[in-house]
Structure 1
Amino acid sequence: MNIKFKLTIMSFLQFFVWGAWLITVANYWFGTKQWSGAEFGAIFSTLGLSSIVMPALTGIIADKWINAEKLYGILHILSGLALLYIPQVNDPVTFYWVIFAAMLCYMPTISLSNSVAYNILKNNNFDVVKVFPPIRVWGTIGFIVAMWITNLSGNKASANMFYFSAIAAFVLGVYSFTLPKCPPQKLISEKASIVEKLGLNAFKLFGTYKMALFFLFSMFLGAALQLTNMYGDVYLSEFASVPEYADSFVVKYSTIIMSISQISETLFILAIPFFLKKFGIKQVMLISMLAWVLRFGLFAYGNPVDGLWMIILSCIVYGMAFDFFNISGSLFVETSTDSKIRSSAQGLFMMMSNGFGAFFGGLVSGIVIDTFFTHNGQRDWHNIWLTFAAYALVIAVLFAVMFKHKHNPDEVENVTH
């Protein structure tokens, strides 16, 4: 089988596993199980917790002891077992621990899938920069296809979404053992300290005001990154309680509407080089923050009939909000850190945004929604989204005022080519 095709299948299944339940789990939690919102926030915090430590630990294991493709397969099989057990769970505390176990195994496979692909492409003399992006796009397609299957099969609120995910995880786990071998690189010195091995030496960047500020804002904005993944689908589904919207396309096919966000994500990636060269890294990050304000604000005022355009526009804006922050932030780290700790610094960026940010965002949002915006089991989505929009606006204003970075077109040109 063609190498690029094999990696395309891997990328597709990697994100199919996630897409089968990530966007729709709130419907299962609030609708089918009738559990509370505060505890639901903790469920999404497991993504952050798992992203803080596990990628570094599995990276060390793959670098020293076991083939990356085998470790990748083992982790997917283990996450599949946890996902397979979820439908048997009947209390929120057990649900939390089982989904946490699944995420401890799944989250590190995101970076491992990149490592495996890079390794295999390099060993087969492919131009990674040219060949990898079209392969990675199939990951987003896999995520979208999983969302559509979950919705169109009538399972956006049923336990079957976890079965879909588990089956895909098992298939990918077994399939990964057929991939070309990716033996340990043993790039980490035996004499290296545990701090160096875990990539924690990048924490010394907090000693620089500008970098400390950047990582702090990464965490604060990272708290917003998963909010619409957490609550978007259930927000649209709960329009069913309003008689005039009960039979609308949005209510029936909420997951398909939400998939516009992922489609938009693939398109905005193509626009990033233009925006970076034209406006610079700081301005692109600021555009991302303002896009989050729009994302939440449009949800606050949208509805399935005359406000449908707002919901769709919110989903389109998501691509800009998500991509512009992640890629321009990564680019800032690339151009502002010493080459000796650059990989660790990139890991720290992901740890602050997708780790600590996602953890606190999931935990705090669940408590805030349950305490202030839930009355007699009904969630006040208008004010929930306005609160999230206000949060993003405060972050954007503070970032614009406090973060100083001069635009250098040549700097951007050198990194993006």
Structure 2
Amino acid sequence: MQARAKRLLAFVCMTALVLLFSTHNVSAKKTTQYPKSYDLRAHGMVTPVRFQKDAGLCWAFAATSAMESNALMKGLGTYDLSEVHLAYFSLTGVTKPLPGLEGDVLTFTGNKPWYQYGGYSGFATVHLMNGYGAVPESVAPLSMLPSQPSQSLATGHAVLSLTGTKEIKASNKNAVKQAIMTTGALVCGTHFSRNGSAYYNAKTGALYVNKKKNLDHDITIVGWDDNYPRSNFGTTKPKQDGAWLCKNCWGSSWGNKGYFWLSYEDVPSQQDTCYAYEVEKATPSLYIYQHDGGYALYGYEHCTDMANVFTAVSNTTLLRVSNYLEPTSGTLTIYKQDKKNAPGSGEKLLSQHFSTSTTGYRTFLLKQPVSLKKGERFTILFSFDRPTFAYTDYDDIGDWYIDSDITAKSGQSFVKLTDEDWFTDATWNLRMKGYAFLQ
């Protein structure tokens, strides 16, 4: 058996870049010609600037801003989502987890209030994909700090659900532009101090850092100008014109009414991965079959097939599945699982092609609903055209201020690597889910 490969995700906090776990990121190349300048505000696809005040929640403000923008892009309406709700439950966990996540426990271990710590888009993504959803600001407003939301608010109040993410290297200018035009505002990390920065020109609202620095602040990119003058930056200037238009979360009295320009050549942000969020209106009756409640992101290289096995909790109509994938393609198959044999050995209920061009969570609508009876075991199986990386959760996240513990069981998730047989383990689960209506 090949050794587990550990991937690393960048973790943005208010004071430093903390490396927790690793991810590989590939962005699809586009040949589309893009306009010289673009501004989502001109198309009504950005919500108002918010103010995080003294809370270290820039990452949550950026995530909600991106989700609100995507909702506008999809014609779902205008939302003001709660950053406090997202951050609190992403960092401290849910005491009564959703079905399938029992035993997966997130514990906050910091010695300061939770809202004074930073976070990362990956935390928000896992929490939202686990089915907890985004709630209105009125449910858990910023004004409630230093109090915290009641655990009774963890579920039952979502207005938007996350269906997928696109992770795009900030250095891939065309891919970033493509994502802005198709999905809305993107989360990106920068090096930026609220107490002032030698790299920021306050007169023009322009930021350029010419050396490697810690990513300490999340913002959202909402547009660009290829001809933005290099002369508008501070004492140290980039070599070329051009900048991203960015929305901050320090109120509308800061910068250019809450916005600023970030040079295309800014060194710290070029090392980051941008996040695009795909949302839909929340459907409370939609049941999620899932095993993966942990935050750590590990996995196996050279994966040719992966599968999750579930047991129908009631008469079930399976509608779609999701998975965390690198750019790949292959065949998605649903089986009625034989109890004694490996995945794919039972009755085939559905088979269809799938593909994805960016790293991240992707939800696939089944070409037809799959009906299952209560108690029947079924398998969701992905077979890849070429070996890829199989992402899993894991019972480890490092000695930081959150501790992620999972309860995995052998026989829940299976992986097949090149020239090897299926194997399963009691220390991890695949990031694969099924979405269904129960009868």
Band of TM-score, shorter chain: under 0.3
Q: Which has the higher helix share?
A: 1
Report the TM-score when normalising by structure 1. Answer: 0.26
RCO higher in 1 or 2 (8 Å CA, sep ≥ 6)?
1
Higher strand share: 2
TM-score when scaled to structure 2? 0.25
